[in-house]
Amino acid sequence: MRLIYEKRSPDSPTKRLALCKNHHWAFGHSWFGVNDDYRIVIPWERFKEEAAVESRGMMQFKGEQIELPREERFMPSLEGLRWHRERWRIAGCGN
């Protein structure tokens, strides 16, 4: 797992998401965001894809809740997640 942190995000280093390198890239390239309920949002109009054999396509993750840490102090920052959605214009995608 890799910790992600956008350099211009108002987030603090303790409020990050832990993502594998593939999801780190996808998050950083606006393929998905996370809403205030910690559910995955997908900007449908940005791409079309066919999933690799025996894997799930990005679209199938829509609405899934991310796995959250047990301790409140490690919860991803809602402010940082909002910043990411606004930065990449994911906020208005209706997810």
What lies within 8 Å, CB to CB, of 16 at 6+ separation is: 3, 4, 5, 76, 80
pTM for the model:
0.76
Tell me how many helices (H) and strands (E) the chain has.
Answer: 2, 4
Look at residue 2 in the predicted model and tell me its pLDDT. Answer: 40
Residue found under tokens 């796995």: 67
- On whether the CB atoms of residues 50 and 1 are closer than 8 A, the answer is no
Please give the Cα distance from 27 to 30 (Å, whole number).
Answer: 5
Q: Which two tokens stand for residue 54?
A: 């025996």
Chain-centre distance for alpha carbon 1? 14
pLDDT 10s digits, 35-88: 999 999 998 877 666 767 777 777 788 899 999 988 888 888 898 899 899 999
Beta bridge partners of 2: 19
